[in-house]
């Protein structure tokens, strides 16, 4: 299987010149509260489209990001998932140049960055598509959810 880092990034418009992270981010990512349990995060990761869990405080400040490798095999002594993960290397400024951030993602072999403002408030999620052809969109996510709901209804 080809990894996203081996595929050149192509923005849907064909050009990333002048675009910033805010132009490509998902504006309503799924978030989790501070009291979310580790097992809830494990269940969240059962969806293969999910690559990052975002834990936020009531004021929308991003507390941590969690990826599958951050989850311990067992979690005795952990009261919440907020004790896991990190923000280091997992956030982007909405005003950063999209082509620069994309190049960094590809070098690091990453596909997700939480987008935060200067105060650390979560604004969105930058999600590079699996095939490297562009970024996921709010519309695309809604379509996938509707497709799943329809499939479940038909079953």
Tell me the per-residue pLDDT of 90-137, one tens digit each, with 9 for 90 and over: 999 999 999 999 889 988 989 999 999 999 999 999 999 888 778 888
**pLDDT at residue 150 is higher than 50:** yes
Q: 85: domain CATH number?
A: 3.10.580.10
**pLDDT at residue 4 is higher than 50:** no
25 is a domain residue: yes
pLDDT mean across residues, the chain: 84
R_g of the chain, CA atoms, integer Å: 16
pLDDT of residue 6: 39
For residues 98 and 24, the answer to whether their CB atoms sit within 8 Å is: yes
Task: Return the higher-pLDDT residue of 50 and 146.
Answer: 50
58 is a domain residue: yes
Q: Give the pair of three-digit tokens for residue 12.
A: 């849907």
CA distance 113 to 107: 14
What would the pLDDT profile of 79-97 be if each residue is shown by its tens digit? 789 999 999 999 999 999 9
59 is a domain residue: yes
CA distance 51 to 130: 11
Which domain, by its residues, includes 80? 18-154
Q: Is the C-alpha dihedral spanning 128, 133, 137, 139 positive or negative?
A: negative
55 is a domain residue: yes
CA distance 108 to 103: 9
Percent of the chain with pLDDT over 70: 81
- Residues comprising the chain, all counted: 155
CA distance 10 to 134: 5
For residues 41 and 82, the answer to whether their CB atoms sit within 8 Å is: no
* Number of domains forming the structure of the chain: 1
The CA-CA-CA angle for residues 90, 56, 132, to 5°, reads 35
83 is a domain residue: yes
Give the mean model confidence (pLDDT) for residues 23-39.
Answer: 94
């Amino acid at each position: 299987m080809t990894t996203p880092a081996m595929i050149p990034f192509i923005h849907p418009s064909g050009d990333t010149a002048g675009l910033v992270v805010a132009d490509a981010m998902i504006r309503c990512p799924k978030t989790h509260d501070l009291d979310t349990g580790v097992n809830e995060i494990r269940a969240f990761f059962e969806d293969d489209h999910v690559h990052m869990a975002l834990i936020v405080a009531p004021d929308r400040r991003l507390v941590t990001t969690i990826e599958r490798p951050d989850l311990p095999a067992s979690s005795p002594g952990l009261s919440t998932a907020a004790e896991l993960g990190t923000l280091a290397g997992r956030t982007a400024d909405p005003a950063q140049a999209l082509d620069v951030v994309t190049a960094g993602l590809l070098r690091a072999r990453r596909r997700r960055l939480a987008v935060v403002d200067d105060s650390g408030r979560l604004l969105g999620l930058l999600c590079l598509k699996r095939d490297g052809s562009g970024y996921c969109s709010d519309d695309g996510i809604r379509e996938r959810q509707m497709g799943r709901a329809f499939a479940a209804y038909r079953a």
